[in-house]
Structure 1
Amino acid sequence: MRKAVRTRPLPADAAARLAEAVRLREGGEPETARWSLLALGAEFPDDASVAYQTAWAHDVLGLEAEAVPFYERAVTLPGLPRDDRRGALLGLGSTYRVLGRHADAVRTLRQGTDEFPEDGALRAFLAMALYNTGGHHEAMTLLLRLLASTSEDPGVRAYRRAIEFYAGDLDATV
């Protein structure tokens, strides 16, 4: 029998501890935040937000391999707020890539771009992971489309239509 997963909010005292740990991480005390989050996670192992913040604290400390199970838990458990889910998919995909798990990175970042197609950071990280797996053509297409759609550079803006055209057909010649 599968254990029921808690989907209700953390109790007030635990939510305050989570907020304090985030404040510590953001305030330059990631190691203290990490230990607080590990303790909180031991009490609330089925809380997606605790798992996400724990992953992030590990990532900030350069503990990518240790961050992975927390990211994985965060994206599979219910209840993660939308923006945190976006961040967790980006963090997990990027971390997989750093660890050389390129196929996992592509799979995770594709999921992220499917769920959040407007997010340029997910597309950029997906392009990097595609590059690592030999998907150079798709990576270049993604980056050119991202550049054309988001750049404020006057030169890029002047040639936006041409860049978008060539992004669709990199092998086009006259």
Structure 2
Amino acid sequence: MNDNDNDRDSLLAAAVALRTGGHREEARQRLLALGADFPDDAAVAYQTAWAHDVLGLEAEAVPFYERALTGAGLSEEDRRGALLGLGSTYRVLGQYEKAAETLRDGVRRFPEDGALRTFLAMALFNTGAHHEAMRLLLELLASGSTDPSVREYHEAIAYYAQDLRATV
């Protein structure tokens, strides 16, 4: 690791700490500057997207999410977060088909991630795929709820998740 890498790592960590500490605009400015120095760095692009997103600058976040996902070197956890962030951002922007496509990719890569499945269900609802949206949510509920009354009926909920029109 050279000094440039050390600088990048410390500057990135400082910017993330600013964002998580509530200094979102300052974090965004630092990440934009860092991105100018490291334009092909997927982790920097991801953190820059996130900084825009938390400020309500969804349209500005999109190219950074896209750059992060096409770049190399993104950790699996950050890739999961970038897929969720981009899919959710597309949905907020009314780009429902892109949202569903992105979130489907996320669910394929991370099938156990409940947040990805939940956001996919919301995007599917927006596209008019109500049955599939309900199926996803009911499967998630049946498999993951800790509510005792839901647990009592988890088999029935899982069954009906496959076909809400089923009567027997």
TM-score (norm 2): 0.97
The letter of the residue matching 2:93 is L
Shift of 1:14: 1.2
Aligned to 2:77: 83
The letter of the residue matching 1:90 is L
Aligned to 2:112: 118
1:43-62 matches, within 5 Å, as: 43-62=37-56
Aligned counterparts of 2:70 and 2:109: Cα–Cα separation in 1: 14
Aligned to 2:95: 101
Aligned to 2:33: 39
Structure 2: 5+ residue runs without aligned partners? none
Shift of 1:17: 0.2
Counting helix residues as a fraction of each chain, which structure ranks higher?
2
Q: SS of the residue aligned with 1:70?
A: helix
Percent of matched pairs sharing the same residue: 70
The letter of the residue matching 1:49 is A
The letter of the residue matching 1:141 is R
Aligned counterparts of 2:105 and 2:114: Cα–Cα separation in 1: 14
Shift of 1:77: 0.6
**What is the root-mean-square deviation in Å for CA atoms of aligned residues?**
1.1
Q: SS of the residue aligned with 1:117?
A: coil
Q: After TM superposition, which residue ranges in structure 1, 4 or more long, deviate above 2 angstroms?
A: none
1:55-94 per-position Cα deviation (integer Å, ceiling 9, x unaligned):
0000010000000000000111111000000000000000
Aligned length: 166
Q: SS of the residue aligned with 1:11?
A: helix
1:1-174 matches, within 5 Å, as: 11-174=5-168
Aligned counterparts of 1:164 and 1:18: Cα–Cα separation in 2: 43
Aligned to 1:5: none
TM-score (norm 1): 0.94
Structure 1: 5+ residue runs without aligned partners? 1-7
Aligned counterparts of 2:72 and 2:84: Cα–Cα separation in 1: 17
